[in-house]
Amino acid sequence: MKKVILCFSMILLTVVSAQGSWTPRKLIGTYPDWNYWWLNVRIGIDQFDTVYCAVSRYNYSQNDYEHDLYVLNTEGDTINVIRPWSGFDYQPIVQDVQGTNIYLGQPILGQGQASSPHMDAGVTDDSDCVSTTHSRNSVIYFTRLGPNGQHIIWLDSIYGGDPWSGRTSLARDPSGDLHCTFADDRQFLVYGISPDYGVTWTWDTLETISVMSHVRVVATPDTCVHIVFRTWTSGVQLYYMKLRPDGTVAIAPSIFAQGSERWCPNVAIDTTGHLRVVYIDGSSQAHNLWYTALRGDLDTGGQPVTDSLLTLVPDTIIQNDAVRVAGPKICVDLHNRAHVLFEQGVYGTGGTKHVYHIREDGGPWVGEYATESRSTLLVSPNPMFSSAKMQFNLVQQSMVQLILYDALGRKVRDILNCAVAKGLHTVKFDRANLSSGTYFLVFKKDSESRVVKIVIVE
């Protein structure tokens, strides 16, 4: 028996490092008796993996529209604080030592004077110019700033309709084209593209789903465009859509997360072209911070796809708190580790608000999961209560065994033993009569085997 246990330990050391985990949260800032419903935070990262976090200083009694800037190292430790910090013309932009502008976004989300240069979204280009969009009073405005904040294009009206204030999203692809998305009248998914730095725009309605909001757009190195949005027509769902460089649909709107509530999705692209998505499970009383990763390289000829095919990492709770969590933002460093900034505090005015940072450990495993030649195995959630999803990828059809052992190396359950086709697969595992404790899930395929430690809790 000792030899069996030793063998398990050796295998475990080589495999568990591929599992995604998250660092304990670190407090960035505390705002006592904050006289506003939320703080609104933004996060960005430079090529040295230095993390920048902006926190809005707007509230009902202090509407000065300034921000606090927290500079973190890659471990999430605060190394500098600039308070207050206004950026260029109140546009939150930081510069690294190379002089490259890092844009964080506008935390105020439409609050303030109509003449103020607030923005919802923005990107930098190769000449260090910053392009931004902002929706207010049924108009979307576009601004382009020079490297030192010069007004190249200033609050130019580019669209008239009924977008939610503060709900536009903007991306720039490697060719230099700008892409803007939003939900018009909370039911039309509107998409615009500009090939000339925002001077002219072409608009199209991609989808009609009532009711939708929180539309986010990102572009990958292959110049494909990826869109994530939220609906609550029949259940609350998060959708994903992908456009090819020529504008044709690669993936029609497909549900990748759903539940009683799914709010405030935010998206970042990793170095492999996959999407990291973070969101919460409520508008005013969210207690869970959720995370998933989507396959950015998938192409199904304009057909909807199942979440088991699209989702690299299934719905995973990465933070839980009895007090409300809110406003998550995400970015990815050069090691493919996701960094998440989120708020925590009571909903409404007058309560103390906190800002926290967490970081994914072992981040490269997400990219490896989609591209490596070996099969992979992911269990979520882990620790688990009553059930979990076991997800694995096969590069070719194979005989697959999933076997559960207890901490002493004794087999307690055969979960799967059959031929499985090539691709991504999800197997639901119910706890049934198993007691709480530590178990080991063994994945066997041909001459290959992997082990994942599973913890069952009450």
Instruction: Return the CATH number at 7.
Output: 2.60.40.2550
Count of the separate structural domains present in the chain: 2
**pLDDT reading at 15 higher than 50:** no
pLDDT in tens, 96-149: 766 677 778 765 544 555 556 567 778 888 788 889 888 877 889 898 988 877
How would you label 58-76 residue by residue, b for 16+ Cβ within 10 Å and e otherwise? bbeeeeebbbbbbebebeb
> Of 337, 361, 385, which residue constitutes the final position of a domain?
361
**Once rounded to an integer, what is the mean pLDDT over residues 361-378?**
51
**Given this model, what pLDDT does residue 65 score?**
65
CA–CA gap between residue 382 and residue 390 (Å, rounded): 10
Pair (255, 396) in one structural domain = no
**pLDDT reading at 370 higher than 80:** no
Give the distance from CA 210 to its chain's centroid: 23
**Best-predicted range by mean pLDDT among 147-156, 336-345, 388-397?**
336-345
37 pLDDT tier (thresholds 50, 70, 90): confident
**Does residue 368 belong to any structural domain of this protein?**
no
Pair (332, 390) in one structural domain = no
**Given this model, what pLDDT does residue 78 score?**
96
**Best-predicted range by mean pLDDT among 213-217, 378-382, 418-422, 438-442?**
213-217
**Does residue 264 belong to any structural domain of this protein?**
yes
Pair (111, 65) in one structural domain = yes
**Does residue 366 belong to any structural domain of this protein?**
no
Pair (107, 89) in one structural domain = yes
**Does residue 369 belong to any structural domain of this protein?**
no
- What domain range is 386 assigned to? 2-16+374-456
447 pLDDT tier (thresholds 50, 70, 90): low
**Given this model, what pLDDT does residue 88 score?**
60
Residue with tokens 């697959």: 400
DSSP codes, 139-192: EEEEEEE-TTS-EEEEEEEEEES-BPTT--EEEE-TTS-EEEEEEETTTEEEEE
**Once rounded to an integer, what is the mean pLDDT over residues 67-83?**
92
Pair (73, 144) in one structural domain = yes
Pair (90, 239) in one structural domain = yes
Q: 421 vs 214, 296, 445, CA distance in Å? A: 36, 22, 12
**Does residue 202 belong to any structural domain of this protein?**
yes
